[in-house]
């Protein structure tokens, strides 16, 4: 028996089928890569992920506004925040007088702690300094002050902390954890 040899046209068809398959696979991988990059950007800090973190920060602030920290003498809200390089964040400090009598001569101090290369400055919004006071706080009332968290444009990424105290009044200190992002 004689074996049949494939004709040249069959070989040509086989080669064309292979080239078409390779082109389709390359186009498919390219589209898949573009789709994955798009999804990553949508879920990242600039997309849905950033919106989610912002929403949780606002919710935490709203909840603390409702309860006003009445069970604690010193509160700082929110307790965590994200601040981009070259931007300023805002937190609210509240001192509640839970004593039976008025308290006078209340001073507040804020300190910044950051890793090497991170340039973070925490100040009170009303005087742009790290100390403020003295204040008189009547019994059952509270004093609220805004705190500004300023991150320099050339600050390194990472985490920093601002701590608020009321020296000589209460032993409590409250901190806000700042995540520095690009």
pLDDT digits 0-9 by tens, 10-51: 566 556 667 888 889 999 999 999 999 888 877 776 667 667
Contact (CB, 8 A) for 175 and 78:
no
**Pairing relationship of beta strands 88-96 and 142-151 according to DSSP bridges:** antiparallel
* Range with top average pLDDT, 58-67, 70-79, 86-95: 86-95
Give me the pLDDT at residue 34, please. Answer: 92
Write the pLDDT tens digit of every residue in 106-161: 999 999 887 777 789 999 999 999 999 899 989 888 899 999 999 988 888 888 89
Q: What is the pTM of this model?
A: 0.60
Give me the pLDDT at residue 70, please. Answer: 57
Comparing 2-6, 53-57, 82-86, 122-126, the range with the smallest average pLDDT is 2-6
- Which residue in 167, 175, 170 sits closest to 149, CA to CA? 175
Domains of the chain (ranges plus CATH)? Answer: 72-181 (2.60.40.10)
Other Cβ atoms within 10 Å of 158 Cβ, number: 15
pLDDT confidence tier of residue 167, bands split at 50, 70 and 90: confident
Nearby residues of 128 by Cβ (< 8 Å), 6 or more positions away? 148
């Amino acid at each position: 028996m004689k074996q049949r040899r494939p004709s040249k046209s069959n070989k040509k068809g086989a080669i064309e089928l292979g080239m078409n398959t390779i082109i389709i696979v390359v186009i498919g991988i390219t589209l898949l890569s573009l789709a994955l990059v798009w999804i990553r950007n949508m879920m990242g800090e600039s997309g849905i992920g950033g919106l989610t973190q912002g929403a949780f920060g606002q919710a935490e602030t709203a909840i603390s506004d409702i309860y006003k920290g009445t069970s604690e003498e010193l509160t700082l809200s929110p307790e965590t925040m994200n601040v981009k390089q070259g931007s300023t964040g805002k937190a609210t400090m509240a001192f509640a007088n839970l004593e039976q009598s008025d308290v006078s001569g209340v001073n507040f101090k804020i300190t910044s702690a950051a890793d090497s290369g991170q340039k973070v400055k925490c100040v009170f919004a009303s005087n742009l300094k790290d100390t403020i006071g003295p204040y008189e706080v009547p019994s059952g009332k509270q004093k609220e002050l805004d705190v500004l968290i300023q991150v320099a444009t050339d600050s390194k990424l990472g985490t920093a902390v601002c701590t608020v105290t009321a020296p000589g009044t209460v032993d409590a200190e409250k901190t806000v954890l700042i995540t520095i992002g690009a």
